[in-house]
Structure formats: C-alpha cells, structure tokens
C-alpha cells in the first residue's frame, strides 16, 4: 500500500502529469501535509499511508491559487467527494488536479461507517461518483416520535460543547472567509460554552447542502457530540426536497442558486402555513 | 390592570419579517384601515425576504421568540425578480430542520402577502397567533443561556 502510493506519486511527478504532489507526513505524532515537487524528494520515503485521516482538501484549496501547473493529490473516497463539491462551489479547479485514489483498510471503513472505500487497484485511476454510506442506526432518543424527547436529546448533547471550533476548523467544506460563527451578532463572544442550540444549528443549516458525510467533525469533537447524525438529518432534508446530494450530484446546489426558479416541491399551502399537520 | 400586564407577559411573542415592497405595505394597509389583530407580533422590515438568512431565524428563536413569520411578495411578484424563490427554498430547509430536532413546526410560517392584502395580513396574524398559542411558549426561550 505504502509502496504503491510512493510509486504513484513518483510516477505523477516524473511523467510531468503533475508539477507538485501533496503528501502527508508524520511529525511528533501529528499528521501534516507536505508539498513535494521532485520525484527524488526524500520526504516521499517517509510518506504516511496509515489509517488516520487528514482534511487534505482544505490544503489543496489554499495551495491551488499559488501553484502553477497540476497538483497530484492522494484521495480517499470521502476526499474525492469533498473536492468534487468544492469544485462546484468554485473553490478548487478539478481539471488541474490529478486524483490518486487511495484505498482505505477495512478497519478505517468500518470506523467511518463507509461501505464503499476505494480498493487496492484504485490507485492512480480516476474514481467514479458514489453516494455516502447508508445512514447509521438512529440513537434511541431519536427513534421516538415525541418532539420533546428529540429536543431534550439534542440539547443534552449540545450542552457538552466547549466551543473549541474543532468541527469548523477540520471541515473542508467550511471555506467561507467570513464565518457566521465569528459573527458577534449571531454568536455572542461572551458566552463560553456557547449559546445552544444556535451555535450548532448555524452549522447544521449551512451543512445541509454541503456536507459530504466524511465524519471528521464527529471524530475530532472532544465532547463527542453526534455531529454526523445532525448533519445527516440536514442532508436528508435537502435530498428529499430538492433531490440534491452534496459531493454526488453533478449540478450545483439548488439551495444556493439565487434567482433560479425551482420546482417548489412540498411547498404547498399546508406546508408553508403549518395549518394542515404534515404527515 | 396588573393582571392584564401579567397576562401579556405570558402570552406568546411572534417576530414577523416583512418585505419592504409587499408585506410591509400590506401591514401598513391593515393599520390605516384600522383592522384589529392580536398585539403579539413585532414587525421587522427587510428589503426582500430573500435576504433573510436561516441564521436570522435561528437567532430569533434563540432570543426567545415563540413564533417566526416570514411574509413576502407572491411568487412572481418579487420586486427583485426571484428573491422569494430563494425564501421558499430556504424556508423548506429551516422548517424541516427545526422539526427534525423536535422544535414544533407550528412555530414558523411563510406567507405571501401583497401590498393590497391588508385583510390577509390581519387574518394571517390572527390565525398564526392562535397557532403559536396552541404550540405554547418556546422551549428554547432562554434555554441556551447558561
């Protein structure tokens, strides 16, 4: 696996397919991205190919404007979804990227709840689109139909938040220069822990048509808030209403297309006014 | 007198976002025509309902509103062309999201009220106030203040 990836990286640089490659290296127990431009760079020997994940896509977004020529990037299946969604939002130019599909071991796939990781022969071939894994089984509190119980569950989870901003900082889809979570009119700077539920819901509405379900937010959360479940619920709403799946659908997100007339599916009188109870 | 004030304290609070071109004028018409409607609503004028971010709706609930009404021009009548299509799409997402988290969906409503529809504004506020009263005080009112 490591040798195959090293070979693919060197090949991409030698053949001139890519001017530079982003690889992960491990230093003092921490993963960090590193840019290599020469096939004989010694960093390639110490390339990290283990089970830990890193938001490489964020690094590529920063890097692309300052590099001329193509960049080769080793991607897991989730990384590919991120880059695809980011390209639709004009954050990254996919035509200038060479994606090196990197397989995940079964353990990683199981830990992520991913049912279609790249397999070993995916290296250096252009990966095709695939939906994220099937939904996780719901926590017990969310299986009930009682709204009060659901709300109590979420408030209980949000209560543990320490406002470390880890979920936002790790998220490759959080690319806005002006973040709503930094807006003092929305999120008070005085309250740490944050005001709930607004702090989490601001991110949830923004994730509804962006989240590619990589699960890194939940993995990094020190308070173990089930963020992935939250964003999956938001994703499901956009999927049901507009048939749009971030990272998978070919078209741009209909939710953010200003002025684009849309089929107002499910927007009939009763839904808007709430006077006819929704089934 | 004191009792009435106490009752008003306990009654539901509704924030209405009204678009400048249709619904605010509609509310104005209801006012100058002396139409009676419950005093629970606080109007906020925005230039277009398309400018209302879901974040603002969340903030309104966080600050203790029991209901949020968004009112704008009828589809096709938007002063800016297609601003209310944007509202409709966003409304769909925010309403379903709140519902999926266990916040009563009776608390949020989207209405199209034109500048000529003072009576519709009156009717909307009346029925929405009843609807929110049925849902009760918001569980989020100051819940997040720790």
Is A126 a member of any domain?
no
**What CATH number belongs to B12-135?**
3.40.50.960
Closest in B50, B53, B111 to A273, CB measured = B111
Write out chain B's pLDDT in tens, 146 residues: 556 656 656 789 999 999 999 999 999 999 999 999 999 999 999 999 999 999 999 999 999 899 999 999 998 888 988 888 888 889 989 999 999 999 998 999 999 999 999 999 999 999 999 999 999 888 887 654 44
C-alpha angle B22-B71-B69 in degrees, rounded to nearest 5: 155
Asked if B92 lies within 8 A of A271 by C-beta distance, the reply is yes
Structural domain total, chain A: 2
Which residues on chain A are in Cβ contact (under 8 Å) with B106?
A: 274
CA angle in degrees (0–180, nearest 5) for A76-A33-A205 = 60
Nearest-CA distance A108 → chain B (Å)? 30
Structure-derived torsion over alpha carbons of residues B39, B42, B47, B48, reported in degrees to the nearest 10: -80
Q: Which residue of B has its CA nearest to A180?
A: B55
Question: Which residues, listed in sequence order, are joined to residue B67 by a DSSP beta bridge?
Answer: B14
Give A13-62 pLDDT, tens digit per residue. 998 888 999 999 998 888 999 999 998 888 888 888 888 889 999 999 99
Same domain for A100 and A144? no
Q: What size, in residues, is chain B?
A: 146
Residue A9 lies in a domain: yes
pLDDT (mean) for A161-173: 93
- The whole-number pLDDT of residue A266 equals 54
ipTM over 0.90: no
Same domain, A169 and A227: yes
Report yes or no on A83 lying in a domain: yes
pLDDT the model gives residue A117: 78
Task: For residues A32 and A105, state if they share a domain.
Answer: yes
In a domain, A122, yes or no: no
Are residues A150 and A83 part of one domain?
no
Judge whether A246 lies within some domain. yes
Q: Could A237 and B93 be called an inter-chain contact, meaning their C-beta atoms sit closer than 8 Å?
A: yes
Q: How far B109 CA sits from the closest chain A CA (Å)?
A: 5
Answer whether B92 sits within 8 Å of A266, measured CB to CB: yes
Look-up of token digits 């589809």? B75
**Whole-number Cα distances in Å, A35 to A63, A68, A81:** 9, 13, 22
- Residue partners of A82: CB distance under 8 A and separation at least 6: A55, A57, A172, A173, A212, A214, A247
Residues A151 and A107 in one domain: no
- Asked whether the CA dihedral A84, A86, A90, A92 is positive or negative, the reply is negative
Nearest to A272 among B106, B109, B146 (CB): B109
Return the residue of B nearest to A145 by Cα.
B102
Taking only the tens place, the pLDDT of each residue in A119-140 is: 766 565 555 556 666 666 677 7
Indicate whether A154 and A108 sit together in one domain.
Answer: no
Helix (H) or strand (E) holding A203: helix A198-207
**What are the extents of the domains in chain B?**
12-135
Q: Cβ–Cβ of B102/A149 closer than 8 Å?
A: yes
Measure in Å the smallest separation between the Cα of A91 and chain B Cα atoms: 22
Residues A163 and A255 in one domain: yes
Burial of A279 (0-12, 13-18, 19+ CB in 10 A): exposed
Chain-chain contact of A151 with B103 (C-beta, under 8 angstroms) = yes
- CB atoms closer than 10 angstroms to residue B10: 7
Domain span at residue A150? Answer: 140-269
| Mean confidence (pLDDT) of chain A | 84
User: Which residues of chain A have a CB within 8 Å of the CB of B70?
Assistant: none
Chain B CB contacts of A240 below 8 Å: 96
* Inter-chain CB proximity A205 and B85 less than 8 Å: no
What is the nearest CA distance from A262 to chain B, expressed in angstroms? 7
Of A196, A234, A261, the CB nearest to B97: A234
Q: Per the CB < 8 Å rule, is B55 touching A266?
A: no
Query: Smallest Cα–Cα separation from B25: which of B124, B118, B145?
Result: B118
A107 & A180 share domain? no
Which whole number is the average pLDDT over A180-188?
Answer: 90
Mutate to test the interface with A, among B16, B50, B102 (most CBs of A within 10 A): B102
Secondary structure letter of residue A121 according to DSSP: G
């Amino acid at each position: 696996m490591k040798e195959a990836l090293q070979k693919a990286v060197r090949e991409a640089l030698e053949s001139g397919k890519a001017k530079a490659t982003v690889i992960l290296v491990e230093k003092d127990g921490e993963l960090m991205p590193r840019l290599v431009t020469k096939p004989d760079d010694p960093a390639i020997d110490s390339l990290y190919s283990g089970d830990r994940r890193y938001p490489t896509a964020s690094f590529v977004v920063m890097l692309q404007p300052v590099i001329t020529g193509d960049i080769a990037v080793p991607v897991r299946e989730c990384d590919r979804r991120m880059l695809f969604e980011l390209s639709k939002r004009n954050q990254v130019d996919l035509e200038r990227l060479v994606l090196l599909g990197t397989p995940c071991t079964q353990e990683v796939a199981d830990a992520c709840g991913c049912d279609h990781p790249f397999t070993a022969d995916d290296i250096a071939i252009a990966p095709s689109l695939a939906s994220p894994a099937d939904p996780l089984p719901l926590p017990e509190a969310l299986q009930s139909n009682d709204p009060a119980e659901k709300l109590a569950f979420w408030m209980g989870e949000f209560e543990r938040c320490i406002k470390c901003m880890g979920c936002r900082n790790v998220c490759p889809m959080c690319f806005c220069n002006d973040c709503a979570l930094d807006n003092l009119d929305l999120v008070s700077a005085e309250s740490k822990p944050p005001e709930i539920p607004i702090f989490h819901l601001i991110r949830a509405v923004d994730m509804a048509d962006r989240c590619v379900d990589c699960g890194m937010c939940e993995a990094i959360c020190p308070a173990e808030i089930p963020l992935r479940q939250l964003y999956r619920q938001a994703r499901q709403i956009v999927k049901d209403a507009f048939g749009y799946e971030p990272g998978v659908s070919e078209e741009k997100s209909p939710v953010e297309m200003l002025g684009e007339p849309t089929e107002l599916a499910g927007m009939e009188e009763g839904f808007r006014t709430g006077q006819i109870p929704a089934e | 007198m004191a009792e009435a004030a106490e009752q008003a304290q306990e009654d539901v609070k509704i924030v209405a976002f009204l678009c400048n071109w249709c619904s605010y004028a509609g509310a104005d018409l209801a006012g100058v025509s002396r139409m009676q409607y419950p005093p629970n609503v606080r109007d906020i004028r925005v230039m277009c309902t398309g400018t209302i971010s879901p974040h603002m709706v969340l903030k309104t609930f966080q600050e203790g509103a029991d209901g949020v009404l968004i009112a704008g021009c009828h589809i096709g009548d938007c002063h800016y062309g297609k601003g209310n299509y944007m509202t409709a799409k966003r409304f769909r997402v925010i309403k379903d999201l709140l519902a999926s988290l266990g916040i009563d969906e009776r608390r949020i409503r989207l209405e199209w009220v034109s500048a000529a529809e003072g009576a519709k504004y009156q009717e909307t506020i009346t029925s929405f106030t009843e609807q929110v009263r049925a849902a009760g005080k918001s569980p989020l009112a100051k819940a997040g203040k720790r």
